[in-house]
Structure 1
Amino acid sequence: MSMHSAPGIRLLPNAITVLAMCAGLSAVQFALNGQLTGAIAAVAVAAVLDGLDGRIARMLDATSKMGAELDSLSDAMSFGVAPALTLYAWQLQDNRVGWVVSLIFAVCMVLRLARFNTLLDDAEQPPYAKEFFVGVPAPAAGLLGLLPIVLTAHFGYPGWWANQNVVMVWMVLVAALMVSRVPTLSLKTVKVPPRAAAPLLVLVALLAAGIIMFPLISLAIAMVIYLLHIPYAVYRHNWLAKHPEAWSAPPRERRAIRRRTQRRLGLRPPLRRSVAGAARRVRLPRRHSHPDGPRRSWRRLELRRSRNDGPRR
């Protein structure tokens, strides 16, 4: 029974990967027909399917070498070749430099995936490395590359963001982020404290409502927020590299280690704890205080007699 069911189980994740590749390449056909919204939706569907195939393969215990290679090939086509050809067919057809930039974008995506596959077999990485990607991952890079098209489809006209030079510079910047060593957070390993779970779920619901009602501008805002998180990811990566004691610690202990480090460096004032019901001592100013400072006592200087002193004889 299990021998007959094994091939079918292995086929499901690979079928999803092939569907993701077909969806990504369909973006080029939509761009050639001038359907910008369809091109964006095709790459977005490819990103969703790309996130599902690996998880389904692990749930069904159907991971294989062929599936990993097919997933890399699908990512290269869906998020490297497809966005590059989409941008070229949309705005760069009459520019020779535009074709060069499109090639750079696709080649950087392939190099990024090749490096990702080699890092999977690297046993010398520290434990905290699994919390980060090296560079911008493939689905995020593919959607970031299409940001000029997203803005044009939302506003209904090609603004300054659709200028050929702006589009080419943007593609080069995204390609550089793909092959860079800049750490970015891996959402699969992000953990939040229990008290923050409810607010984050509310934000997720608001994001889903925004995508349903205003899909294009919500996608653009999500991509901008993703770019803004990179400085925090760099800070967190550098902090973990300097604190080995926090590598295997749970989130609560990590926050405690970070607070102790900040106090040691003088970046955070120490917490003052008070006993419940205890009155705080308040220092009141002296009565008849002199504006220029504390007045000296005449008695202490022996220049004035005290009342108890009798008359001098």
Structure 2
Amino acid sequence: MQKNPTIKGIYEVCIGITETLAMIQYWQQFGYRIGQTGELTASTVKNLYGVNSNLRSIRLDRPDVDHGFIRLMAWENPTNEGLEMTSMKVLGNRWGTTLTTDVLNILNHVEDAYLAGLPITYTFPQWEIIYKTEKGRPFIDPAVGVREMMLLQPLTRQVLFQRFNYTVPEYGKINHNCTFKSSQFTHAGMVVQDDSKETLRFYEDVLGLLRTRDDDETTYESSEAARQIFDLQPGEKFRVTTFDDPRSSINWQEARSGRMYIIRFPEAMNLESYFERSRPGCLGMSLYTYRVNNIKYYFDRVKNSAATEVTDIVDNEFGEQSFSFVAPDGYFWNLVSK
């Protein structure tokens, strides 16, 4: 584990939009605030993001953390409608996961929105045992686990979870003053098919992230939450691989948020590909970023790897040195200089 890593956890979840006010108001309820703003002309956007459109962006940050932020990317000419509320069981899927201390309050708002006829798909908060601990006696010993739910809307794809009777101190910092008593994004999700896991070595070998979980299997029969969230059918299963901030740990109690959470479905399954609806220019969740020291070092490593569509280093809409690429698994990424 590196003591002074030059890369940390996932810095931003980027959301393509056309109008800003409603999205700002929505994320303020989860504890975010307006931070930096900036613009790029279409020619620079084309060089950095591969999109022929002017761009205006707003970074939504939080005062108490340095990762898990949101970048609202307002496109003058968006490429397409993005992932919208498509199934979570597609290649190119993206979602952001948030810790809360009041999942039922969020559910109350979700059900009100559903009754009001708003476009929304959700699951009821299911009980899930994430970490194996000594099994207690019902009604006598503390029940250790989480309640987690999925919430899909046209521009947002979220998983929300509440812990019961355990803590992970560095994995999510709750803002108790916001409406939904929630943290920054603790992890960001992806869906791939790679039985060999060869494409995933890029995140370890090139970016220097810490692989903290590998090959954890979830089946239709083993998890009601996963069955509903990922539309699992009888006999279907997936495995999970995660990559963390290098300061994190394989000891779950010492883990740090900012995790990349990769769902690996077997190659034998027939999954639709939505990568073209999951990259800059698309509406909705369409990009993740990392912030790094010495961006030229990372540029050289990525340029000499199996990554494709590697751009030059240019100033992004916030005046930060930045470059983009497509990783070997098909996901579009952007690195930002500190």
Larger CA Rg, structure 1 vs 2:
1
Higher relative helix content? 1
| TM more than 0.5 | no
Relative contact order (alpha carbons < 8 A, sep ≥ 6): 1 or 2 greater?
2
Band of TM-score, shorter chain: under 0.3
TM-score by length of 1: 0.24
TM-score by length of 2: 0.23
